[in-house]
Amino acid sequence: MVVPFAAGGPNDVVARIAARAMAEPLGTTFVVENKPGATGAIASQYVADSKPDGKTMLLASSSTMLSPLLLKSARFNPLKDFIPIGVMATDDNILVVHPSVKANNVQELIALAKAKPNELNYSTSGNGSSYHLGTELFSSLLKIKMTHVPYKGTAPAVADLLAGHVQVQFQAVSQATGNIASGRVRPLGIASLTPHPAYPQIPPLAGAAQIPGFEFSTWMGIFVAANTPDAEVAKLRAALVKAFAQPSVRKQLTDLGMRPISMTPEAVMARIKGDLDKWGPFIKENGISAD
């Protein structure tokens, strides 16, 4: 199972949960291999070019499938080069600020950003990352300007927020939980249309910031190369369904702050197409590209 991001991140954790849970029904063992870089394009291309025998899988995320919009070097087609096995979870994103920021809710942050254009810095895991896209969309809808500070990965982006070198960040719930509990960040809103079960007190930004429909979250699912035989695809899907039926597997995901979900293959491809249609024009209009 190939992971497009470094070890220890949400995608890597989900991949290892899936690998352990699917190993038994398949009667085999998995090797989880991290191939980070180019917003997921390196790993995605590797799996797209692999032998279509069902032995090599991609633990993709929503941002992975946007790589061709951000990188000219990305040669794969998300709608043609992969077959979905299934989606396992979504990871919502919470808008947080360093405690030194004089904003106790999102409206106060908006007022601060409008009063001091570009003086607030926001960190992300890199140019073209889902966090970059989501924050720029948030800023665009609210007509505010903050300065983007891209990092090479989530860990250093979070570290500099905690140190106060940057002030604002969207963090995945799975990453933000400990920082919120310790008071090292202040949560202002969640980028989902409904409150998160673990944080019912954190308001959805669509309402709190008065930007109807604003939502961006990360879904994570398993894919194989196009032309993989139907029998192999069916076997992998059955193994994932059996694994996902285990309460212990679902609990591992919810304990991380993720929302376990299941989607039909048709729904997965429709979601990918919807993401491409949503973000393509925005990426082009704003000249956003990946490192």
The pLDDT tens digits of the residues spanning 267-285 come to: 999 999 999 999 999 999 9
Separation CA 42–CA 61 (nearest Å): 13
| pLDDT tens-place string over residues 16-48 | 999 999 999 999 999 999 998 888 899 999 999
| pLDDT tens-place string over residues 56-90 | 999 999 889 999 999 988 889 999 999 999 999 99
| C-beta neighbour count of 37 within 10 angstroms | 16
pTM of the model: 0.89
DSSP 199-231: BTTSPBHHHHTT-TT---EEEEEEEEETT--HH
- pLDDT score of 108: 98
Which residues lie closer than 8 Å to 269 by C-beta, 6 or more apart? 79, 84
DSSP 19-67: HHHHHHHHTS----EE---GGGHHHHHHHHTS-SSSS--EEEETTGGGH
| Residue 269, CA distances (Å) to 87, 114, 274 in order | 11, 39, 8
pLDDT at 155 over 90: no
- pLDDT score of 8: 79
Tokens 């500070």 — which residue? 149
pLDDT at 291 over 80: no
- pLDDT score of 107: 97
- pLDDT score of 39: 81
What does pLDDT average to over the chain?
93
Higher pLDDT, 102 or 72: 102
The tokens describing 117, both together, are 């254009």
- pLDDT score of 49: 96
Higher pLDDT, 177 or 115: 115
> Strand 259-260 vs strand 168-172: parallel, antiparallel, or unpaired?
unpaired
- pLDDT score of 174: 85
- pLDDT score of 36: 87
- pLDDT score of 204: 97
Separation CA 36–CA 257 (nearest Å): 23
- pLDDT score of 76: 94
Separation CA 285–CA 234 (nearest Å): 40
pLDDT at 1 over 80: yes
End-to-end CA distance of the chain: 24
Domains delineated in the chain? 2-90+218-285 (3.40.190.150), 91-208 (3.40.190.10)
The tokens describing 246, both together, are 């285990």
| pLDDT tens-place string over residues 5-19 | 888 778 899 999 999
- pLDDT score of 5: 85
Separation CA 169–CA 158 (nearest Å): 8
Separation CA 46–CA 68 (nearest Å): 14
| pLDDT tens-place string over residues 197-254 | 889 999 999 999 999 999 988 899 999 999 999 999 999 999 999 998 899 999 999 9
| Residue 277, CA distances (Å) to 110, 148, 283 in order | 28, 24, 10
